[in-house]
Amino acid sequence: MDATNPHPAPAPRALATEAVHAGRDDLARQGLHAPPIDLSTTYPSYDSRGEAARVDAFAATGAEPDGPPVYGRVGNPTVSRFETALARLEGTGSAVAFASGMAALTAVLLARVASGLRHVVAVRPLYGSSDHLLTAGLLGTEVTWTDPAGIADALRPDTGLVVVESPANPTLAELDLRAVAHSCGSVPLLVDNTFATPVLQRPAEHGARIVLHSATKYLGGHGDVMAGVVACDEEFAGLLRQVRFATGGVLHPLAGYLLLRGLSTLPVRVRAASANASELARRLTADPRVARVHYPRIGGAMIAFEVHGDPHEVTAAVRLITPAVSLGSVDTLIQHPASISHRVVDAEDRRGSGVNDRLLRLSVGLEDVDDLWADLDGALAPLSRGAGLCSYAAPPRGATSRI
C-alpha cells in the first residue's frame, strides 16, 4: 500500500457507481459478495520485533500499518472499508472515522492545538454542539466569530482552522465555498458537509482541506448508527489517526459495516428525499400560516420554516412525522432548534445567526409527499384557528415558489 495514498482510486467512476463499489473492490478476489464484519479487538502477532517496528512507524506518521491489523484502537478492516469509500465519494486522499461527529471535530481541533495553532475562525450558524465546543474553549482553543467577508481579517499567526457549514444547520444558509477557501489563504478550511453530502457538493473541489460529516445522518441514513468522519489528505489523516489512538474515539466495526451499507444507497436516498423536500418547500412557501421558508439553492432534503404563531403547537400535532432531534433518516423528522439542537448556543448569538424562536427544522424522508403534506397541514391547523385563517389547500404543481 502506498503510504502517501492509502486509498488509491481506480479509474474515475460516477458517484452512483462509487457509492455501490468503493470499499468493496477486493471482495470478488476473496470469493465474497457482502463485506465481512471484523469484530476483533486484537490480532495475533508472532513477530514482536516486526510488530515493534510497525508501532514505531504509526507513532511517527499515523499512517495505516502495512500488513495485518494490530489492535482495534489503531484500526479495523471493516471501518477502513467505510473510510476508503467515503474518501472516494468526497474526492480526498483519505478519511478517518470516529465514534460520533463531535468526536471527529474534537480530533481535528486537538490535532491543530498539538501543532501550537489554538485560534479558530468560524462562521455562524453551525450545529449547536459544534458552536458550544468552540465557544467554551474546552480543548484550549480560542474562537473568533465572523461573517464570510471578515474571514481574511480575522486570521492570526496562530490560526489553525477556519470552520464553516454550508448549507448551515439549521437555517440552511449557503456560502460560496471557493471564495471562503480563497479568504483562508494557507489556513485549512473545514467544511461541515453533513446536510449536503457528496451527492450535492464536494467541498474539497472548492478548496476545502477538511470535510466533516456527522455520519449519523445521511451517510448512515436509517437512524440506527452513530458516527463521525473526516475526509482530508493523507498527511492530516495521519495526525487524526494518532489523536484517535490516543483518545480512544474509535468507531465500532458494526457501525462501520452499517455505514458502508448506507453509502450504497446514498445517492438514491438523497435525490428522492430532495424531491419530496422541494415540493414541501413549495407548498409551505404558499401557506399563509408560514412566515418564511428556507430551502437551499443546491437542493437537499432539509427545510427550515418560520411560522405565524407557536411552533411548539406544530411539533406537538404531527402524527406521521416524528418530532425528534437528528436528521437524514429515511423517515421525516421535525424539531424546534431553539429548544433542542441549538439550545446550548447563547440566546443572543443564536438569534443573531438567524435561529429565531419560531423556526422549525424539517428533515424530509422517503414517505409519499402527499402523506407528508397532509400531516404538516394538520399540524399547522392550530395556527389557522389562532389567526382566524382558513385551512390551506396545496397549490397546483408548477406554481411559482417564493422561497
Helical (H) or strand (E) element with 375: helix 369-387
What's the gap between Cα 386 and its chain centre? 37
Task: Give catalytic residues, as residue numbers.
Answer: 73, 127, 192, 217
- Going from the C-alpha of 92 to that of each of 9, 107, 149, the distances in angstroms are 10, 18, 27
Q: Computed over its alpha carbons, how large is the radius of gyration of the chain?
A: 22
Q: Are strands 333-335 and 322-323 parallel, antiparallel or unpaired?
A: parallel
Closest Cα to residue 77, out of 5, 24, 20, 18? 24
Phi, psi of 99 (to 5 degrees): -70, -20
Distance between CA atoms of residues 338 and 360, nearest Å: 9
Please report which residue ranges of 191-346 form alpha helices under DSSP H: 197-200, 234-247, 253-264, 266-285, 311-317
Closest Cα to residue 364, out of 395, 338, 328, 311? 328
Phi, psi of 169 (to 5 degrees): -95, 120
Largest CA distance in the chain: 80
Q: In what order do the strands lie in the sheet with 359-363?
A: 290-294, 302-307, 359-363, 333-335, 322-323
Given the C-alpha cell 467577508, which residue does it identify?
Answer: 149
